[in-house]
Structure 1
Amino acid sequence: MTDWKQATEWLEWRAIEDIECITPDQAGVARGKMMPSKKFISNTSLALPSAVFMTTISGEYPEDGHGFVYPEDDGDLKLVPDLATLSVVPWESDPTAQVICDLARQDGSVVEYSPRNVLKRVMAKYAEMGMKPIVAPEIEFYLVHKNPDPDYPLTPPVGRSGRPIGGGQGYSIAGVNEFDELIDDIYHFSEAQGLEIDTLIHEEGAGQLEINLRHGDPIELADQVFMFKRTIREAALKHDIYATFMAKPIQDQPGSAMHIHQSLVDIKTGQNVFTNADGSESETFRHFIGGLQKHIPNALVMLAPYVNSYRRLTQSASAPVNTRWGYDNRTAAFRVPVSDHQARRVENRIPSSDANPYLALAGSLACGLSGILEKIEPDAPSSKSVNEDLIELPRGLLEAVALFEQDKLLHDILGTSFITTFAAIKRMEFETFMRVISPWEREYLLLNV
């Protein structure tokens, strides 16, 4: 839909009764309001408190400091529907639709720290240089038994065979078939919403699946990941299990990633600017990789946003802890897949599936843009295994936050308002985590120290 007339006709033709007006918060959680469709099309003003977009994942509020100041008035922010995202909510029993909204202040100005606006800001920086990013995310997730008591570890679900799912099922069709009915629901729900799945596979973990999306515009793809997470969770609940996007939900099982394939096209010609006219690698291609190598450690908190995220980033595992790059090298952080010249792209293998898709895309693209602006040359490509070498990424959340705040170029590209807000939230989440005494501490410290 491009205007309210089309939206009204679309809603009436489908006899939609209710509308979910949603927007992603800093964690990528859908926040918003539900209303009757007749009220939605009557130009009703929608607003949410600004505090909603400054809370931690556990609902607490960060403290002032390091450039962040909590707004004392907690004023309203306007929800501005993006009618192009209007779609049905296929799992609801009553005819229901949903629409993704942007955030604006009461005077119409942009809310800089809103995740969708952060990504739009990065896209605008590329547009100023005559370029447009093209991305394709790959999202891994686990299916697990329902776990109402968080003190108990997660366990794999039982498939149609009647047995608990085991690990080591990478690319197994039989592993996928264990969940045929659930996957059918994912496909049906996705088709009803206009979400395009490219492929679906079983990954290495027990009950771990991966969905690959078609390449396209970063805003549209972030919207799709945002909607896919809701869709997959709802489909799993229909079958009385959970779907989780935690980076490391099960001990001794592989973590879940959100790999991001990235390329750049010339806005005027549509040609891939990673490739010269003769088919060779362009200077822009090299500088993009150089920017990823230099700046990704500073933007890691956008790609690995929780304490749990760093449990996935370990040596000798499938998740890279380096800043190396290579041709078709899955142990490197930045892989250049085999492709023809016009499909030349760089896969960022660092982000975890718990990341907010808008911020993961914004962070990765901002680092590539930094390399182009600074004309950073990458090092030599790696052709051997490089994930057993020295760790080149922050090992924990607080270290990542500190590097994030210090990168002046990221401040310019992403906006200081966003960086100070996001950093304050992450500090508070770390403090909340530190209040919890873990089973490891009780096992090894209780009677030994």
Structure 2
Amino acid sequence: MAKKKRSYSDAADSLRGVSTLAEAKAWMAARGITEIECVVPDLAGVARGKIMPVSKFLSGPVMNLPLSVFFQTISGEYPPYDGLVDSVVVDSDLVMEPDLSTLTAVPWAQDPTAQVIHDAYHRDGRPVELAPRQVLKSVVELYAHKGWKAVVAPEIEFYLVEPNTDPDYPLKPPVGRSGRPEIGRQSYSIQAVNEFDALFEDIYDYSEAQGLEIDTLIHEDGAAQMEINLLHGDPLVLADQVFLFKRTIREAALAHKIYATFMAKPIADEPGSAMHIHQSIVSAETGKNIFSDDEGDPTPEFFSFIAGQQKYLPAVMSILAPYVNSYRRLTRDSMAPINIQWGYDNRTAGLRVPPSSPAARRVENRVPSSDANPYLVIAASLAAGYLGMAEGLRPTQPLEADAKFLDFELPRGLLEAVAAMQHCDEIANVLGPSFVKTYSAVKQAEFETFMRVISPWEREYLLLNV
């Protein structure tokens, strides 16, 4: 059957995405859109860009931003540029072109506003290797060359906390509709979720207005800790959705005078927040899951994918756990993994194979934290699996015991993780040498900023005792 050609009216009815600038014009006219947010995700997954009138966007949708937008640390500083880029062009403009398939509403804006995610190009037309969206596209292309397509499904955990305007004070759970803050652990509690019904109704409404699909919402282990699961699909589409979901959840929470935080370990005595990534690989030609054979048994590719994760996830740990705070989550007495053992339905291992039919056989990477850039974390995880299949690696035996009593196999801190990536040529070849060099410099600069801060622990135990 021939595919139906979409008309302008079809595009105007769509909640998310168009194909042409003419369709974008019709889409925005149908909604009375007056402004558009032109955004590009930076290395931290922060939305950078410009807000402009719709008329300006339609007259020339390309915008310019300096190359330095991909060098900025989370604190707004920059590492030394020496050895990273040509000093003559360090502040040169990049060309940002909109991906019109990401066009959608900004439902929390006061005036009718749209948003569209952009890709970054050099002025000669080359994609910017440092751009997180491009890093993920490059990994997806490696799979395409093999006749494969990756399928992912992220799970994002986050905390709701009281507004905190003084960073010296610890975070606390917010007050719900009962008038009391949550104190004890309420895993999977419907009642605990109902405490914030009004907020979650807004999250669902905002998501629907953007064409974002939530699979499930649950209460996680921590006090006022929640998890949203997304439907499985294309890696770039899902990374875009996580990027937009983070904005959506934060904005909805602020409207209710609550903070939503994706910090990996925001509260000392509570579990950390993860971004679990479910991964499977299908044949681009047949759509069949290559992790299962015709008899429904696991294939060599399945085991090699796991082996690649075991070998290379430690080398991309600075992407999976990108901040000093991220490593506070990865402790033996928490729910987070401390190694890259794997097992069938074993949630204590870094790699879990969930119960499923052969067609849905997949590998869950439980190592990443929720503070990670979704584009980079999906790219890094898929890169590790790709290398395992390309090299024909074999994994360890599946673990049935509690993995948290085994040895640490992951870097314990940010600088150790950065060094692991810098010394892994295979990862540099997949993610790009210039990306690895720049990303490492940004992480090292962020660590130096952290080292300028004196923590309460130091004042508590060192002030009068040493």
TM-score normalised according to structure 2 size: 0.95
Corresponding residue of 1:303: 320
**Per the alignment, in what secondary structure is the counterpart of residue 314 of structure 2?**
helix
Q: How far is the alpha carbon of 1:59 from its aligned partner?
A: 0.8
Q: How far is the alpha carbon of 1:317 from its aligned partner?
A: 1.6
Displaced runs of 4 or more, over 3 A: 69-73
Corresponding residue of 1:68: 84
**Per the alignment, in what secondary structure is the counterpart of residue 215 of structure 2?**
strand
Corresponding residue of 1:212: 229
Corresponding residue of 1:37: 54
1:358 aligned to 369, 372, 375, which one? Answer: 375
Corresponding residue of 1:227: 244
- For 1:150, the aligned partner's letter is P
C-alpha RMSD of matched pairs (Å) = 0.9
Q: How far is the alpha carbon of 1:71 from its aligned partner?
A: 4.1
* Cα shift readout 1:251-272 (whole Å, capped 9, x = no counterpart): 1100000000000000000000
Q: Percent identity?
A: 61
Q: How far is the alpha carbon of 1:225 from its aligned partner?
A: 0.2
* Matching of residue 403 in structure 1 with residue 426 in structure 2: no
- Taking the aligned partners of 1:44 and 1:324, their CA distance within structure 2 comes to 47
Q: How far is the alpha carbon of 1:64 from its aligned partner?
A: 4.3
Q: How does 1:22-171 map to 2 (within 5 A)?
A: 22-64=39-81, 68-69=84-85, 71-73=87-89, 74-171=91-188
* Matching of residue 338 in structure 1 with residue 338 in structure 2: no
* Cα shift readout 1:115-147 (whole Å, capped 9, x = no counterpart): 000000000001000001000000000000000
2:203 aligned to 186, 211, 214, which one? Answer: 186
- Taking the aligned partners of 2:325 and 2:254, their CA distance within structure 1 comes to 23
Aligned residues: 448
8 Å Cα contact 1:287-1:375 kept in structure 2: yes
- Taking the aligned partners of 1:146 and 1:341, their CA distance within structure 2 comes to 46
8 Å Cα contact 1:304-1:354 kept in structure 2: yes
Corresponding residue of 1:438: 455
Q: How far is the alpha carbon of 1:78 from its aligned partner?
A: 1.1
* Cα shift readout 1:255-306 (whole Å, capped 9, x = no counterpart): 0000000000000000000011111101100000000001100011110000
* Matching of residue 5 in structure 1 with residue 11 in structure 2: no
- For 1:370, the aligned partner's letter is L
Q: How far is the alpha carbon of 1:204 from its aligned partner?
A: 0.8
2:213 aligned to 196, 220, 231, which one? Answer: 196
**Per the alignment, in what secondary structure is the counterpart of residue 313 of structure 1?**
coil
- Taking the aligned partners of 2:407 and 2:301, their CA distance within structure 1 comes to 28
- Taking the aligned partners of 2:333 and 2:358, their CA distance within structure 1 comes to 32
The 1:72/1:427 distance shift into structure 2, 3 A limit, reads: farther
Q: How does 1:419-434 map to 2 (within 5 A)?
A: 419-434=436-451
Shifted more, 390-399 versus 38-47: the winner is 38-47
Corresponding residue of 1:348: 365
* Cα shift readout 1:84-140 (whole Å, capped 9, x = no counterpart): 000010001110000000011111110001000000000000100000100000000
Corresponding residue of 1:379: 396
**Per the alignment, in what secondary structure is the counterpart of residue 140 of structure 1?**
strand
Q: How does 1:314-329 map to 2 (within 5 A)?
A: 314-329=331-346
8 Å Cα contact 2:161-2:224 kept in structure 1: yes
Q: How far is the alpha carbon of 1:384 from its aligned partner?
A: 1.1
